[in-house]
Structure 1
């Protein structure tokens, strides 16, 4: 047997062993992340009670269905501390489980959030100029209760101005429900309700939060604020996706 052949086999075996070791490490890390002891054991109720003690939340009752929401002032804005729960066509329960609505609110398509016909899922509301200009006005109500409205891109950016530079959004994330707990230093109490695609698939419940903005982003998209366990951004997503709605008080 040639020496080169033996060396070749030894090198090949070494590569296989190293690859297997790396895969084993990845599997081990993944298992630890998914292990019960690695999960966030702070309940939303415990986290909320702590926040309420600290921020002295206000309250508001939606006259349409009697749902009461807590509120918080952040800078010059007043936000609902909870995701909207108002049930309407084009709204869904997070994770496709109605029991999640009480804590996580409902998920809405963009047209449901803006309370406009579903035909505007893939075309601009500019087809109806009166409606288009109404949406552009400040304090556009949409599906929000009376006295509240769907946030604009500018209002989301105003909220983010209260965060440190290069923030990953931990100041907005609740201390509960997230695998990587937030500090929730502003009392916003963002929970990971996930989202729903238009094909009926529910994704990222317990892992990601997305909130609608009233502003369009291209022909069939709209802006949204997204929070993950370590990041925050504002980008466009399909209007047919169903995501959370946070309401901001009229000024």
Structure 2
């Protein structure tokens, strides 16, 4: 028979090992959470495009511009390249900046406001095109150099000087430009200099209210009334 004292010593040693192990487990740090403002969810549109999302001040935004060519119910949103036809539309349409498909990869599509307002739904199910008031909520929460906090940093896409651009909100606003009315037709302007995003908010029968960021803007994410035939980018907000 083994010495009882030896057995007690072994049991005591095991107790210490188990106790220390339990103590260490209880003090282990939890898995590293997602980076501030980032979320792990994605959203898929009707065409199968997948969008990363970002949470800013309790709002969940798509992190890139919309690039869908069908309404939520599957109906086609027509692509309109002709400049004169574009400015005479009173129904939904989209185009690429300069009618170049390659621009869609980076900046998404430009939509007129009629597409935004169509009852068939432009945003994916469970999402919507943000209102002007929701942009105001975002800006009030960010405070300070709001435009700088929303613009992608650097000059990979923005022209210099991209004033105060830190993208600390992770909104990653890009200067996708616009399509607007000039000399009787729809023309493209301001890629690299300005990013414009439609809101779902209407000003009157012919005007609606987009928001925009510019290379020289630091603390302003401006709101203005524009004709509904203008072509702007779109970001979506979770319902």
In structure 2, relative to structure 1, the CA distance for the partners of 1:163 and 1:67 (3 Å cut) is: same
In structure 2, relative to structure 1, the CA distance for the partners of 1:102 and 1:59 (3 Å cut) is: farther
**Greater strand percent: which structure?**
2
After alignment, is 53-62 or 199-208 more displaced? 53-62
Tell me the residue number matched to 1:112: 115
Q: What is the TM-score normalised by the length of structure 1? A: 0.64
In structure 2, relative to structure 1, the CA distance for the partners of 1:53 and 1:96 (3 Å cut) is: farther
In structure 2, relative to structure 1, the CA distance for the partners of 1:200 and 1:82 (3 Å cut) is: same
Separation in 1, partners of 2:35, 2:102: 26
Q: How does 1:169-208 map to 2 (within 5 A)?
A: 169-175=147-153, 176-179=156-159, 180-181=161-162, 182-198=165-181, 199-208=185-194
8 Å contact kept, 1:142–1:150: no
Q: How does 1:236-251 map to 2 (within 5 A)?
A: 236-250=225-239
Shift of 1:96: 2.1
Shift of 1:95: 3.0
Of the three residues 202, 210, 215, the one matched with 2:196 is 210
Summarize deviations over 1:26-64 as a string: whole Å, max 9, x none.
Answer: xxxxxxxxxxxxxxxxxxxxxxxxxx9775443424251
In structure 2, relative to structure 1, the CA distance for the partners of 1:163 and 1:55 (3 Å cut) is: closer
Structure ID, larger Rg: 2
8 Å contact kept, 1:106–1:244: yes
| Ranges in structure 1 where 5+ consecutive residues have no aligned partner | 1-51, 117-140
8 Å contact kept, 2:196–2:232: yes
8 Å contact kept, 2:51–2:62: yes
8 Å contact kept, 1:96–1:202: no
Summarize deviations over 1:206-239 as a string: whole Å, max 9, x none.
Answer: 1110111111113311011111112231111110
Separation in 1, partners of 2:107, 2:99: 12
8 Å contact kept, 2:38–2:55: no
Residue 152 of structure 2 aligns to a residue in which SS? Answer: coil
Q: How does 1:91-170 map to 2 (within 5 A)?
A: 91-115=94-118, 142-165=121-144, 167=145, 169-170=147-148
| Ranges in structure 2 where 5+ consecutive residues have no aligned partner | 1-33, 70-76, 79-92
Separation in 2, partners of 1:225, 1:151: 10
Q: How does 1:80-95 map to 2 (within 5 A)?
A: 80-87=62-69, 88-89=77-78, 90-95=93-98
In structure 2, relative to structure 1, the CA distance for the partners of 1:186 and 1:240 (3 Å cut) is: same
